[in-house]
Chain A
Amino acid sequence: MFQYIIKRIFQLVLVLFLVSVLIFAFTSVMGNPVYLMVREDATEEEIKVVEEYLGLDKPIYVQYGVFIRNALQGDFGMSYMYHQSALGLIMERFPATLEIVLLAMFLAITIGIPLGVFSGAYSKKLFSKIVMTLSIAGISLPSFWIGMVMIILFSLTLGVLPVSGRGEMGTFLGIETSLATIDGLKHVILPAITLAIGNIAQIVRLTRGGMQESIRQDYVKFARAKGVPTRKVLFGHALKNTLIPVVTVFGLQLGSLIAFTTITETIFAWPGMGKLLIDAINSADRPIIAAYILFVAVMFVFINFVVDILYTIIDPRIDLNQ
C-alpha cells in the first residue's frame, strides 16, 4: 500500500509538470491580457507599465520559471482582472460547484443504480425498454438545452422553482451552503438535475450491461436456487460484481463534473468555478486559468486514487501493488 502511494505521488508530480507546460504554451498564444486591461487608445508607456506590473515583459521561459517558483510556495499569482489571489478566487467558488456536483452525483447513484439493476435483471420487460429509450435521450441531449427547457418548464410555466442564482445560504457544520436552507435547496435543484441527467443515463446503461452479464452466472443461479430473497440476489450478489466499471466511470464523471460545469453554471448564473474559468478565458487571465487547471489535475489524480482504493474494497482479490 505504502509503495503504491509513493508511486501515485510521483505520478502526480509528473502530471502537474506536463500540465503546467501545456498551460503556459496555450495561454501565451491565447491573446495578450494587457490590451484588455488598458484603454483602447492607451499609449505605449501605459502598456509598458502594465506589462512590467504583470511581469509579461520577460521572455516566456523566465515567466514560466517565476511561475513554478511561486507555485511551489502555493502562490499562483494575482488574477489580472480581479487583482486578487487566483487560488483564493478559485477556492472561494469551489463550494458552490461542489454543491451542485455532489447533489447531481447523489441523484445519479440513487436513481441510476436501481434503475440499471432492475432493467438489467428483467431486460425483456416493457419497463426496461422504456428506461433504455430514456437513457439514450439522457446521454444525447446537450446540457444547455436541458437547462433552458428546465427553466421554461419549472420556473416559467409551472412557477415552482427559481430561475437562477444561489438563493439563501445557511450554515451547516460551519460551512456556508445553499443546501442548508429551503430557499437554497430550491435554487440548487434545477442545476443539479441538469448536470445529473447525462450521468444517470450513463450509469443506468453501465449497470444494466453488467447486470445482464452477471445474472447469468452460476453463483446467481445458485443463490436463487438456495432461496435467497430476490432483492439480496440482485443487490448483494449480482450488483457487487458489476460495480468495478461503474465505480471507474463514476470517478471520471465526478472529476469532469467538478471541472467542467461551465455551461450549466452559466445558464443558471450559479457562482461556481466553471463560470470563473470561462470569464478568465475570455479575458486571458492566465493566473486563474493556470491555477484552475492545475487544481483540476490534482483533483483527478486524487479521485483516481480513491477509486483504486475502492476497487480493493469491492473486490478483495485486487492487489494495488501489482
Chain B
Amino acid sequence: MRRKITVIFLVMVLLVSLLTGCGSDTKTSSDSDTTDGNGSKEVVIALAGDAQSLDPYVLNETITNAINNHLYDQLVVPNRDLEIQPALAEDWEVSEDALTWTFYLREGVKFHNGNDFTADDVIYSFDRSLEEVSAFKYCLSTVESYKKVDDYTIEVVCNEPNALLLAHLKDLMILDKETCEGQTDEWIALNPNGTGRYKFVEHRRGDEIIFERNEDFWGESPEAEKVVFKPITNASTRTANMVSGAVNFITDVPVRDVESLESNDSINIITQPSLRVIYLNLAGWTDNPSPDADMPLKSPDGSNPFKNIKVREAIYRAINEDEIIENVMNGFATPAATYIPEGYNGYNPDIKRLDYDAELAEKLLDEAGYPRQDDGYRFEITLDSSNDRYINDAEIATAVAGYLEKVGIKVNLNLMSRSIFFNYIAGLNREGDNTHFCMTGWADSGGESALMGLDLVYSMSQDGYIKEGYGGVNRGYYQNPETDELIDRAIATVDPEERDSIMQEVWKIAADDISYIPLHFQNDIYAHDDSIIYHPRKDNYIYAWDIEFTN
C-alpha cells in the first residue's frame, strides 16, 4: 500500500510539473496575440460592469453610455477636457436671445449598414429620447420644439434662454431611423447600428463585448482595430487579470491594490482627481428639519443648530479631511473646497478650505449657544450615508461621526444600501422628509458649472421646488435669491468666459454661507500594461480612441 501511495505521489508531481510547463507556453502565446504579435492592434479593457443595453436610450449610466459611444455619435461631443466639440453637427448658430439654435449636420456620413445620415435620423432620435422607455427625457426638457429645415439642417427652439443646450445634446446618441423605425425596443438593443468609430461584432452578456474599427468613420480613425470590453465586477479579479496579462487595461483599481500593481515593472498606474465631489448636506434653512426621520435632530432648546452659521463652521472645522484622505482613501483623493475641481469652468481659486481646528470648533459651538450638557453632548444629529455607492463611503461617514463626537455632537450613524439611500434622502421628499445631515457625492458628467449650480445650490424649499426642476439635489434647502439670480443669468449666457466668471461668484457665495461641507474629490485610478499609453478623460468615460500603442 505504501509503495502504491509513493507511486501515485510521483505521478502527481509529474503531472503538476507538466502542467506548469504548458503554462509558461500559454502565457507567452496569449501575450503575443494581443498587440505586438501579428501586427493587428487589439486592446482588451476590463471594466467594472457590462453595458446593460446597446440601445442608447434606455439607461443613463456611465459604463453603458461609454460603451454605446463607441457605436453611436452625438451631434456634439465633449473632448478629454470636456470642451464641447462638433461631431455629427458640423457647426451651429445661436440666436441673440439664446432661444433658437440652428445645427448644420455633417454630410456624407454613413451608418454601419451603409445608410446615409440625415436630419430625419436626428428628428427620430430626439423623438425617441422623449418616449416612455427613455432615460434621457431631461435632455430636451427646456426645448419647446425642433424641426427639420432641410436634409442637413435642424432647428431647435428653447422655451427659455438656454446657453447650456449643448451640454444636454451631448448625451443624445443618434440612431438610424430606417433601421429602428417600427422595431421593438428589444430588437433595437440587439441590433445596434450607429455612425460611430466602432462596429458591433459580438456581445456575450456578462463576458465580453467585441467591436471592430469602422473603416468608413467620418473623422479621425482610432488606432485600435479591435476592442474587447470585459465586465469584471469583482475588483480583485480585475487586478489579477491585469497581473496575469490577460487584459491590457483595467478601471476602478481598488486603492489597496495600487501598491502591488505599481511594483510590477510592466504595469503603469494612472490617477487623476475626478469630477465627483463627496460632501455633507445639512438642513440649515428650515426650523423643522427632517420631521419624518426615525432618529430626528435633538437639541436642548428644540432649535435647529444648523441654522446658525457658526455651527456649520464648527462642523466644517471639526473634520480632519487630511486624515480621512490619508487613512481612509489611502491618499487617492483630493481635498475639496468647493463643488468644482481645479481646471473646470467656474473654479474659483479664492475659495479655500477652512482649516481643521477642533478647539476653535468647540469655541464656535459655545458661542452659538450650544454648550455641552450634563451628558457631555451639545445636541444630537443623525448622519445618513450610503455604504455601497462611493469609494469607501461607509468608512468616511464613520470617520466624520467620530470627529463630531470629539467636539461634543452626538452622531447616530445611519448607513444603508444605495437602493434605499437615495430614496430616503431625496430632497423632493418622496418618502417623507427623513434627513437633516447626509453624505452624498455629485458630478456633472459634462463638468458644466452652471448645471451643477442649478442642481446643487438653486433655492429649494422643504415643501418642494421653488422653481420647477431647479435645486433638485439641494438637500439642505439652501435659499439665496442672489445665487439664484446669478445662476439664471449664467444659464442664459452664451459666452463661456462670461459664464465662468458668473459661476465663480456663485460658488464663492455658496462657500461663504457654508451651504454645504465639501470633503474631497474621489480620484479615478486606472492601470495598463506597457504596450499602450492611455490619456484619461475627466469624466471617467473609457474610450478606445484615448489609447495609443507604444510600438
Contacts and interface: CB of A to CB of B under 8 A. Distances in A.
B422 A35 contact: yes
A236 to B, nearest CB: 22
B322 interface: no
B419 A49 contact: no
Contacts of B132: 49, 53
Contacts of A21: none
A165 B230 contact: yes
A83 B472 contact: no
Interface string A266-310: 111101100110010011100000000000000000000000000
Interface string B403-425: 00000000000000111101100
Contact of A36 (B23, B138, B236, B419): B419
A35 B469 CA distance: 16
A38 B137 CA distance: 10
A46 B136 CA distance: 10
Interface in B169-184: none
Interface stretch (B103-111, B239-247, B339-347, B486-494): B239-247
Contacts of A30: 419
Interface stretch (B52-60, B87-95, B543-551): B52-60
Interface in A79-126: 81-85, 89, 92-93, 96, 125
A269 B233 contact: yes
A92 B207 CA distance: 12
Contact of A152 (B20, B22, B240): B240
Query: Which of B30, B233, B423 gathers the greatest number of chain A CB atoms within 10 Å?
Result: B233
Interface string A156-183: 1011111111100100000000000000
A94 to B, nearest CB: 12
A40 B473 contact: yes
Interface of A: 30-33, 35-44, 46-47, 49, 53, 81-85, 89, 92-93, 96, 125, 127, 148, 151-152, 155-156, 158-166, 169, 186, 266-269, 271-272, 275-276, 279, 282-284
A47 B428 CA distance: 11
Given A47-B430, A155-B244, A160-B22, A39 B237 contact: no
B135 A37 contact: yes
The 6 closest A-B pairs by CB, nearest first: A41-B472, A271-B206, A160-B23, A31-B419, A271-B207, A269-B232
Contacts of A41: 427, 455, 472-473
Contacts of B511: none
Interface string B125-165: 00000001101011000000000000000000000000000
Contact of A283 (B240, B419, B468): B419
A269 B231 contact: yes
Contacts of B308: none
Given A39-B60, A40-B472, A92 B205 contact: yes
B186 A85 contact: yes
B231 A82 contact: no
Nearest to A44: B428
A9 B522 CA distance: 55
Contacts of B60: 39
Nearest to B58: A83
A164 B133 CA distance: 34
A160 B26 contact: yes
A38 B135 contact: yes
Given A40-B472, A160-B19, A46 B137 contact: yes
Given A83-B189, A92-B205, A276-B206, A37 B59 contact: yes
B6 interface: no
A151 B240 contact: yes
B199 to A, nearest CB: 21
24 contacts: A31-B420, A32-B423, A33-B419, A35-B422, A35-B426, A36-B418, A40-B422, A43-B472, A47-B430, A49-B137, A83-B58, A84-B186, A93-B206, A127-B5, A158-B23, A162-B30, A162-B244, A162-B246, A163-B240, A164-B246, A165-B208, A186-B26, A267-B237, A269-B237
A92 B50 CA distance: 15
A186 B135 CA distance: 40
B185 interface: yes
Contacts of B135: 37-39
Contacts of A42: 138, 472
Contact of B430 (A35, A81, A127, A163): A35
A269 B234 contact: yes
B428 A156 contact: no
B53 A163 contact: no
Query: Which of A85, A125, A152, A275 gathers the greatest number of chain B CB atoms within 10 Å?
Result: A275
Given A83-B59, A84-B189, 4 more contacts: A41-B427, A83-B58, A89-B205, A283-B419
Given A39-B60, A163-B241, A46 B138 contact: yes
B408 to A, nearest CB: 33
A271 B204 CA distance: 8
Contacts of A83: 53, 55, 58-59, 133, 185-186, 189
B58 to A, nearest CB: 5
Contacts of A151: 237, 240
Nearest to A278: B233
Contacts of B137: 46, 49
Given A35-B422, A283-B419, A269 B240 contact: no
Nearest to A92: B205
B352 interface: no
A239 to B, nearest CB: 20
B302 to A, nearest CB: 31
A81 B59 contact: yes
A156 B244 contact: yes
A47 B206 CA distance: 29
Given A93-B205, A151-B237, A159-B244, A282 B419 contact: yes
A41 B237 CA distance: 34
Query: Which of A39, A155, A162, A163 gathers the greatest number of chain B CB atoms within 10 Å?
Result: A163
Contacts of B230: 165, 269
Contacts of A156: 240, 243-244
Nearest to A88: B186
Contacts of A279: 233
Query: Which of B52, B240, B420 gathers the greatest number of chain A CB atoms within 10 Å?
Result: B240
B443 to A, nearest CB: 10
Contacts of B26: 159-160, 186
B430 A268 contact: no
A43 B419 contact: no
Interface in B414-462: 417-420, 422-423, 426-428, 430, 442, 455
B204 A82 contact: no
Nearest to A127: B5
A242 B538 CA distance: 65
B27 interface: yes
A35 B418 CA distance: 10
Nearest to B472: A41
Given A43-B468, A49-B132, A83-B58, A271 B205 contact: yes
